[in-house]
Amino acid sequence: MKNAKRMPPSAVLDASILVSAFLFPESVPGRVLKLADRGMFAMHLSPILLVEARRSLLRAGLRDAYGHSEEDAIAWCAELQEIGSMLRAPLPEIGAVCRDPDDDHVLAAALAAKADTIVTGDKDLLALGQYRTVRILTARVFLTELVPDATRDESR
């Protein structure tokens, strides 16, 4: 199998990463999302993650603070579904895993998608480090794995 094409890694980006990517397109989360758009990894979304991101972006306080419109947020969330694949089947029941049970759906989405990685800024998820075979990484670590020199200049 010398000529077998290596599949790109797959990941679930949680709502915090998605919101950061929208608000700060040139940030590390924004750069991660751009890599998904370029096919550097397969991004998986669940309806719950998309609703969380959309709800956050539509909050009046966030819109006032960052100056984006409802229309821009709604359109961007729709575009996410073009970049990533949406899980259609119900998420598996996994019980209480994370110290914040509201985050268990992210783990379930990763399992349903057979994702390699969860990319998050959430401390409760990051505290797990790994769930079954799914690694849980910050956007910076994930970006560095995909593009080793990507964050070198930022450390100066």
User: CA dihedral defined by 76, 150, 105, 62, rounded to 10 degrees?
Assistant: -40
Domain ranges of the chain: 10-148
* Beta-bridge partners for 131: 134
- 154 near 27, Cβ under 8 Å? no
Please report the pLDDT score of residue 156 as a whole number: 41
Between strands 130-131 and 117-119, the pairing is unpaired
Asked if pLDDT for residue 59 goes beyond 80, the answer is: yes
Please report the pLDDT score of residue 7 as a whole number: 75
The model's pLDDT over 99-123, given as tens digits with 9 standing for 90+, comes to 999 999 999 999 999 999 999 999 9
Longest dimension (CA), the chain: 55
The topology (CATH level 3) of 10-148 is Rossmann fold (3.40.50)
The model's pLDDT over 18-52, given as tens digits with 9 standing for 90+, comes to 999 999 999 999 999 999 999 999 999 999 999 99
Q: pLDDT band for 155, please (50, 70, 90 cuts).
A: very low
What average pLDDT is seen over the chain?
A: 93
Please report the pLDDT score of residue 150 as a whole number: 74
The pTM assigned to this predicted structure is 0.92
Q: pLDDT band for 149, please (50, 70, 90 cuts).
A: confident
The model's pLDDT over 74-97, given as tens digits with 9 standing for 90+, comes to 999 999 999 999 999 999 999 999
